[in-house]
Structure 1
Amino acid sequence: MTQPTETVTGLARRFAVDIDMAAPASAVWSSLPGIEELKTVWDQRREGDESYDDEGGARETITGSSWKLELKIIHRAGPDGVTFNAVQEYLRGKAQAEDALNGEIHVRWYDRSGVGEAYDGRALVTWSPDGGNGGARDVVTMVISGQGKRIPITNPNASALPVVSKLTPTGGGTAGGNIVTIIGRKFTGVTGVTFGGTAATQVTLQSDSQIACLAPAKAAGTYDVIVTTAAGASANTAADNYTYA
């Protein structure tokens, strides 16, 4: 009897793309939502290097390389239909820049599993809506073209610790009690959420990348929102700041 093959087909959706929307000196990564297609391209630049010594045999040398990400994204809007996703709008704005200095972005891409390839680099963006009839989806073709080398990085998902990448909303009243949605990763098995050391209530795991909870009462100020699982606590970053007013 034929034995089953001990392999499975890899899926393109295993890759994540993050955009740094902060100042160059302090990266704050935000996930690019709505990716429908993604193709990572890396090419060697080669030139002929044949000499008489090769007696007519072809020879090339590698003189450099180039990289790019070719994407199709679903243009995401909020419930009002006109307020578009902040990360997508950031990229659209960069694609309209008049020069490379103002149009350059910082991007990273990696395997969501925590293993495999992971890179970051500086790049320029093109933004081309696909168009269509009145019932067509709002789909955009994007090309993120590398400026300089892609840099191998430690896969952001290699750690088992939870990561907070976004809060919605990012603030509320001092009485607390409002619903806060926490976006990130590695949330499965969440054991607690704290706002400046005070426990949130009604913590609900909605997926490995999303938690909902009620903000506790706190004095006015800005506090860190920390997610804890069996693996440990999320690191303090600018993305987890929640402001009471």
Structure 2
Amino acid sequence: MSTPTPVTALARRWRLEINMGTDVAPDWQLCPGVTEFKWTADPNHEDSTSYDTDGWKENTKTAQEWEVEATFNRKVSKDSTSYSPVHEAIRLAFFAYGDPSEVDLRFFDRNGLPEAYRGRALPAWEPQGGESSDLDQVQVTFTGTGPLAPITNPVTP
């Protein structure tokens, strides 16, 4: 019996959702039109070497930061009178201060694989401009404020 050949996961497996509700009553809604998605969670390592290590370096993880970069096509209503409510929530958070400047987000493998995360972040809203034939795109960098926590994938069967 032969072993099946594994296939490579696609970058478009990620789904980004924004909590349009509250912590008590979350209302997770899709951030539509994502064309590019990348996340990082970089640790801070400090040298903790002492004389006791016989010349071998030691390091200690002292902090961690995370970030999500997403580019999306700006979505409007069919009658072109309003933008996607999710896009608008992100844009308005960018201009706010204090709690209103934070976005509660989660992202996960849309196929149900176990990778899934949730955290609060500060969005940086950057319209991409372009020529007359280009789509209206925005790049948003979500800078984490607090932990990025692994969660159970909400689409896991």
- Establish whether TM, by shorter chain, passes 0.5: yes
Distance 1:121 1:23 in 2: 13
Deviation at 1:25, TM superposition (A): 1.9
Q: Aligned to 1:80, what secondary structure does the other structure show?
A: coil
Alpha-carbon contact 1:95-1:103 (below 8 Å) kept: yes
Alpha-carbon contact 2:114-2:156 (below 8 Å) kept: no
Residue type matched to 2:103 in 1? Answer: I
Larger Rg over CA atoms: 1
Q: How many aligned residue pairs are there?
A: 156
Corresponding position of 1:140? 138
Corresponding position of 2:6? 7
Deviation at 1:119, TM superposition (A): 1.2
Alpha-carbon contact 2:70-2:140 (below 8 Å) kept: yes
Corresponding position of 1:61? 60
CA RMSD of aligned residues (A): 1.8
- Choose the corresponding residue for 1:129, options 127, 133, 136: 127
Corresponding position of 1:92? 91
Q: Aligned to 2:61, what secondary structure does the other structure show?
A: strand
Residue type matched to 2:37 in 1? Answer: L
Residue type matched to 1:106 in 2? Answer: D
Alpha-carbon contact 2:114-2:152 (below 8 Å) kept: no
Q: Which has the higher contact order (CA 8 A, sep 6+)?
A: 2
Alpha-carbon contact 1:45-1:62 (below 8 Å) kept: yes
Corresponding position of 1:37? 36
TM-score under structure 2 length normalisation? 0.91
TM-score under structure 1 length normalisation? 0.60
Corresponding position of 2:108? 110
Matches within 5 A, 1:180-219: none
Gaps in structure 1 of 5+ consecutive residues = 160-245
Alignment CA distance shift 1:104-1:59 (3 Å): same
Alpha-carbon contact 1:18-1:107 (below 8 Å) kept: yes
Gaps in structure 2 of 5+ consecutive residues = none
- Choose the corresponding residue for 1:154, options 132, 146, 152: 152
Distance 2:65 2:74 in 1: 27
Deviation at 1:56, TM superposition (A): 4.2
Deviation at 1:82, TM superposition (A): 4.0
Residue type matched to 1:9 in 2? Answer: T
Q: Kindly provide the CA deviation profile for residues 116-141 of structure 1, in whole angstroms up to 9, marking residues without a partner as x.
A: 21111111111100112222221111
Task: Percent identity, please.
Answer: 34
Deviation at 1:57, TM superposition (A): 3.4
Bigger share in strand? 1
Distance 1:117 1:153 in 2: 8
Alpha-carbon contact 2:41-2:67 (below 8 Å) kept: yes
Corresponding position of 1:17? 16
Residue type matched to 1:117 in 2? Answer: E
Distance 1:148 1:110 in 2: 18
Residue type matched to 1:59 in 2? Answer: E
Q: Kindly provide the CA deviation profile for residues 149-204 of structure 1, in whole angstroms up to 9, marking residues without a partner as x.
A: 11221111013xxxxxxxxxxxxxxxxxxxxxxxxxxxxxxxxxxxxxxxxxxxxx
